Structure 1
Amino acid sequence: MQLALTRKILCCLSLALMSAGCASTGQGAMASPVERPEAPLLAYWPANLWSTRWSSFDQTPDVAIYPSGEVFFKQPTDWGVTPPRLYRILLTQEQQDDLGQRLKALESLKDYYNPAHIKCAPGKVIQWRNERGILQAVELVGGLEPTLEANDRNVRAKAPPAFLAVYDQLVGFNAENTAPFKPERIRLTFAPSREGAVNPVPWPQTWATRVTSATASSENEGFLKAEVSGIHFEDLYAWIQTRNDNGEGVTFNGKVYYILIEDIIAGEVTRTTLPHER
């Protein structure tokens, strides 16, 4: 979306998540270059256990912050059973400057940390663009939330302070004084099923009648793309989630695919400003 009209919230990152926990290669979560100028300055994902490129149908970050200071974030509902609520907000200049300083501190970190040496555990991924426009990312394995679990306490105590300084800010966004919005459009990827799928169901073409081939490359061979009107967001999200939970594929033109949500495009909403931290 353009700044005052429609801006893409969440960039299409072709390698948004690399493996975590048992599946980790030790290289952290790296992403391919994003060519679109509206790509976020900063994005955050919780890395799923056994995560791979296509492990989750929702490929969008939980939080995305743009150079303009606009923040887009999701809040789960009903323990993830229903689609997340979507919010946007505008940082003050002071808060943007503070965030910039925190991001500079991230540049000195390695791209992968497992401070408590936990096996088979989910992680957190923070990805950002430095002042030179280079895309960087850091993954940290283990829980960082305040809990009674000894492992989680150990992880937080040993986590790099520069990582925690950004992470705590990102997970601190909430719906208070924010502007909720409905998507204008949803961009989807049809990832071909390499090994077949259980009880595949037909793609409802009333949602998106125009399904086209993805950008030609060896990585995207056989992939398709489509756009769906945002008025279908809740129904579409729940439908894809059900297919994902049941391990069911989707058929289109006689082939079987898994459906991924790649981008959520916002419509125009009233801007609000995040209150100063107390």
Structure 2
Amino acid sequence: MYQATIRDVVEFEGIGLHTGEYSKIRLHPDDSYKGIRFFVKGEYIQANYKYVVNTRHSTDLGKGDRVIKTVEHLMAVLYMLGIDNLVIEVLEGWEIPAMDGSGYFFYKKLKKLVHKLEKEKEVLEIKTPVSVRNCTARIEALPFDQFVAEYVGSVEGLFKDRRVRFKGNIKELIFARTFCYDHQVEALRKAGLAKGGSLKNAVVFGKGGKVYNSEGLRSKDEPIRHKLLDLIGDLSLLGKYIKGRIVSYYGGHSLNYDLVKSLADL
């Protein structure tokens, strides 16, 4: 497997999910083999777990007084497309544009721009099981001959312990939007989060599995597929291709980060 970049400059713009501010980013091809880097106010921030500064409801990277929020959806798409060398210039705002709350629009523009380089990918092979947990969730990393990621989760009023799996088909995940429950919205806003959230970029659930979005769900298990997208985006911050099977049981960004740190120590 060879490393890759993109063959042309591409831009994305829109509202930040949490900041509510207009955001614009420009992705530049890069063949320097320095990995994926964000360029924020004249400073490079490596897309690496060492620069994670927040995992509450999003994964944010920072260096000094520079921060870039909610990198996980874009990073997931880059990882699944095999793109591992890139400069992401932040032109306006300080959050990745939410787009429609999924990875679809990133995928749509980038899928035809993948350009292979001459150097092989760095690979992290999981040779012995690794597990992290908190009071409600756990994630396991198991030996396997390729990258496979799974997520097990529930949605109130709809289903319990539903499992979804990624084995290489990006189209099975990129459409899945971020989500929350109606009773969470006020608390998120009071915490200074979800300022840009709306039914245009998030799925909102009510009691009994009610979906507030008029178009409904894109798949019956869309929320679980989005949690898997998040997981892959967070795993990408290892900066290496993972050869192994990752299984998350109700995990979120914070536990994903704990796993990444544990894998980095292998």
TM-score w.r.t. length of structure 2: 0.28
Q: Which has the higher strand share?
A: 2
Q: Which has the higher helix share?
A: 2
Larger Rg computed on CA atoms: 1
